[in-house]
Amino acid sequence: MELGFANVDLERLGRQGAPEAIFGEGKTAGQIVSIARALADAGQSPVLVTRISPDKAEALRTAFGAAFDYFADGRIGRVGAAPAPDGAGAIAVVTAGTSDIPVAREAIVTAEALGNRVTPIFDVGVAGLHRLLGHLDDLRAASVVIAIAGMEGALASVVGGLVACPVVAVPTSVGYGASFGGVTALLSMLNSCAAGVSVVNIDNGFGAGYLASMINQRETK
């Protein structure tokens, strides 16, 4: 559907099993509302809108009322209710620190919008390994684990050595100067010695949630 400023993909739900998501950064509130309206009117629900500020979220709330939910800590919004979970199992979303929760929230909301049950496990980084080991049952019960960490990014390798399921690693831009905005964590995760670890881009919670959903949902198809 051509809107003049955007060519909305109304066939993505049928082609890929999930509607087009809207990346909110760089778009005006009016553009976001128009794209979301086109998707919602075409039955592409729920509609995810990532990286949106509170003022853009307020414009969506004005346009869609109670049908819109905003998760401020992850800067992500959803038009339409999340479906009942129908994946093969749970997706565990694990963060090294509390500062990584914004990226985790984006992953959680994305995974839930795609029909997955999510188990959040926050602030269990390798500086206090006992905290992670205290959640070993939840980790091993998951179909997929999303491991989110900044600093040196070691969490993904540790988790990868503890579970028998795929691990989606997400480097974050959390850290001091030598973390280079997440590049250190990215390179650490790419060089993981644990098998079964894949890596998405820095701070890409949406991409991690989407990939984990594809893995969890494929087992039920």
> Would you list the DSSP string of 157-171?
HHHHTT-SS-EEEEE
Cβ-Cβ contacts under 8 Å for 44 (sequence gap 6 or more): 10, 12, 13, 19, 20
The candidate with the shortest Cα–Cα distance to 134, out of 150, 143, 122, is: 122
Total-model pTM: 0.95
Domain count, the chain: 2
**pLDDT by residue (tens digit) across 92-129?**
999 999 999 999 999 999 999 999 999 999 999 999 99
pLDDT of residue 221: 53
Q: Is the peptide bond before 120 cis (omega within 30 degrees of 0)?
A: no
Same-domain status, 162 and 194: yes
Across 169-175, average pLDDT? 97
* Other C-beta atoms lying within 10 Å of the C-beta of residue 215: 18
Q: What percent of the chain has pLDDT over 90?
A: 88
Note down the domain range covering 213: 90-218
Instruction: Return the amino acid letter for 118.
Output: V
- Residue 24, pLDDT score: 96
For residue 2, tell me if it sits in a domain. no
Same domain for 97 and 181? yes
What is the rounded average pLDDT of the residues 59-82? 96
Q: Which residue has the higher pLDDT, 19 or 111?
A: 111
Closest Cα to residue 75, out of 117, 118, 110?
Answer: 110
Average pLDDT of the chain to the nearest whole number: 95
